[in-house]
Structure 1
Amino acid sequence: MCGRYASTLPPEMLQELFKLLNKLDMVPRYNIAPTQPIAAIWEQHGRREAHFARWGLVPGWVKDPREFPLLINARVETMAEKPAFRDALKHGRCIIPASGYYEWHTNPDKTKQPYYITYADGRPMALAGLYASWMGPNGEEIDSVATITVPTNAQLSPIHDRMPAIIAPDAIDDWLNVRDVRAAEARQLALPLPDGVLKFHPVSTRVNSARDDDPGLIEPATVEPPKPPAAKKRVAGGSAQMDLF
């Protein structure tokens, strides 16, 4: 899963790179965590704009967001069927600009080592996401998002078995075009990246605390390289994922 990421692009570069009609007042962030407001990009009525939204999707049909589970990720394999995500896949696709993301590898002694993962050439990422708008009984409104995860590629499998779906630059227009591109077609754009496109390095466990947010978090740390995971035994009974998610 993807539970932390960094976004350090200047607002002007973000506006130019993603062809936005507006500019958000943003500062570099190195440890963005769930429930925080994050920058997300979507299109409405032909206008592509950046918005601040809560990381943790709240579907419009929820009665009370305080009593709803925190949904930060949607699995690509099931998002078209799950009630929490299927409408957003049709009408609320978005991208989340990122400089890189963090993932944790579980060591043999059960400790967890964080890694920072970026494009090998240093270009920005467009994480695939879904957004929804919730309206409360007193007129309050919450825009919220979830990132989409896919099975990891072979390069990253020693770290984790999931990775965020990263939309290729030439596929961003189709991903955001909810008027003309159907959900089934858009689903084919949310794929694992090929091996060799990304690079990664271990970082300090300070990233475990959302209170820490500084450039030192993305600097390399010295640890033993992760070993490939052992083959998992298949368990009868299917997925344990809840019906909503």
Structure 2
Amino acid sequence: MCAHYEAVSQPERLHELFKVAMPTGAVADVWPGYAGIFIRHPREAQQGDGVAPWREAMAGSFGLIPHWAKDPSLAKKTYNARSETVATKPSYRDAWRLGRRCIIPAEAFYEPDWRSGRAVPTRIARADGKPMGIAGIWTGWRAPDGSIVRSMSMLTVNADEHPLMKNFHRPEDEKRMVVVLEENDFDRWLSPLDRPEAMLRSLPAEKLVAGASM
């Protein structure tokens, strides 16, 4: 599971890979409840209106806040959605059913390495140095003052047998990893799909690099 990640904070890097402009309101060091960046297809693009940009970047809470939530504090528990249950869990199922898929741009994510007997924060990034495009879902929540708060959650898959990711978290815990999309899959993930779950798979270990964080 991923509770901490490093967002893409340089506008030129965000535009180079994701072809979007940097939104306002997001932070670089993101924890549950903090504002990160997510990328979606605008509604106009989904309806075939060529005037709208094909992708747009927005700021949103890291941790999905479903429409029925009483307050935004639920985001501290809903920052990761399991691929096996995203279609059925109450917190996520509406966003999944409505096809509200997004990409969460990240320079790296962090996991605890327990092999030494204590938690060592470890930074995990792409081996090629490019930002990651992490598969996610997003939604909007109406606050008591009438404003709309957007939020997102990262999708995860089992990593018990993954050569790299099996090393993280406590030995007795199930191993999980976020879904890192390949660049040529970005638009496919954002587009209407009959079986989006087929795209939820782990990135090969050789495409990742891990090191103790500072």
TM-score, normalization: structure 1? 0.73
Correspondent of 2:199 among 164, 189, 192? 189
Query: What is the DSSP-based 3-state SS (H/G/I as helix, E as strand, rest coil) of the residue aligned with 1:95?
Result: strand
- AA aligned to 1:121 is D
* 2:137 pairs with 1:96: no
| Cα distance in 2 between the residues matched to 1:28 and 1:140 | 20
Question: Alpha-carbon deviations, 1:200-243, whole Å to 9, x = none?
Answer: 1122xxxxxxxxxxxxx3xxxxxxxxxxxxxxxxxxxxxxxxxx
- The code of the aligned residue for 2:190 comes to L
Equivalent pairs counted in the alignment come to 197
Instruction: Percent identity, please.
Output: 33
Amino acid corresponding to residue 186 of structure 1 in structure 2:
P
Equivalence map 1:163-202=2 (5 Å): 163-177=177-191, 180-182=192-194, 185-202=195-212
- Consecutive unaligned residues of structure 1, counting only runs of 5 or more, are 204-216, 218-245
Structure 2's unaligned 5+ residue stretches are 46-52, 170-174
- Provide the TM-score with structure 2 as the length reference: 0.83
Q: Distance in 2 between matches of 1:103 and 1:34?
A: 14
Q: Where has structure 1 moved over 3 Å in runs of 4 or more?
A: 25-28, 63-69
Q: CA 1:195/1:16 → structure 2, altered by over 3 Å: closer, same or farther?
A: closer
Task: State the SS of the aligned residue for 2:181.
Answer: coil
Counterparts in 2 of 1:187 and 1:4: CA distance versus 1, 3 Å = same
Tell me how far 1:19 sits from its aligned partner: 2.4
- The answer for the alignment partner of 1:226 in structure 2 is none
Give 3-state SS (helix, strand or coil) of 1:157's partner: helix
- Deviation of 1:107 (Å): 4.2
What's the RMSD between the two structures over aligned residues? 2.2
**8 Å contact kept, 1:40–1:97:** yes
- Per mean C-alpha deviation after superposition, the further-off stretch among 132-141 and 53-62 is 132-141
Answer whether contact 1:56 1:70 (CA < 8 A) is retained.
Answer: yes
Partner of 1:99, secondary structure, is strand
Which residue of 92, 113, 118 maps to 2:120?
Answer: 113
